[in-house]
Every structure is written in C-alpha cells, then in structure tokens.
Amino acid sequence: MTTSPIITAWESLPLDIRRAAEEAVGHLRPMSHAEILLVIAQAIAKERQRSKISQHDGGKRG
C-alpha cells in the first residue's frame, strides 16, 4: 500500500502535536475553507500567546 505524502508528513509529527490538532479540529469530517482558516488562526494565536508568556517570565513556563 502506498502512503500519500500528506499522511507521511502527518505521521512524522510528534504524537502530542497530532493529538492537539485532532482536538482543535474535532471529529473527522469535511471542513469549509473558513473552518480551516479558523483552526489555523487559533493555533497561531495560541502560539503567539504562549511565546509572550514565555518571554515575560524569562522562559520559566512551558
């Protein structure tokens, strides 16, 4: 069986990242373009917030 490049890339990600992505997206279903943009934007916003917290406390938090 041949695995697509998308599946290979997905499976190469750490399990905790895949689980967080699955949690953000919810159950597997077709998503609209707007839903995909929202999920990505929320992930970017979370990462920026995490970076700000990390910078403000000198990197003491995760």
Give, in order, the Cα–Cα distances in Å from 35 to each of 27, 31, 44: 13, 6, 14
Dihedral angle of Cα 6, 11, 14, 18, to the nearest 10 degrees = 70
pLDDT band at 59 (very low <50, low <70, confident <90, very high): low
Chain Cα centroid distance, residue 46: 10
Q: Is the pLDDT of residue 53 over 80?
A: yes
The whole-number pLDDT of residue 15 equals: 95
pTM, two decimal places: 0.54
Report yes or no: 28 and 46 within 8 Å, Cβ to Cβ: no
Mean pLDDT (the chain) is 84
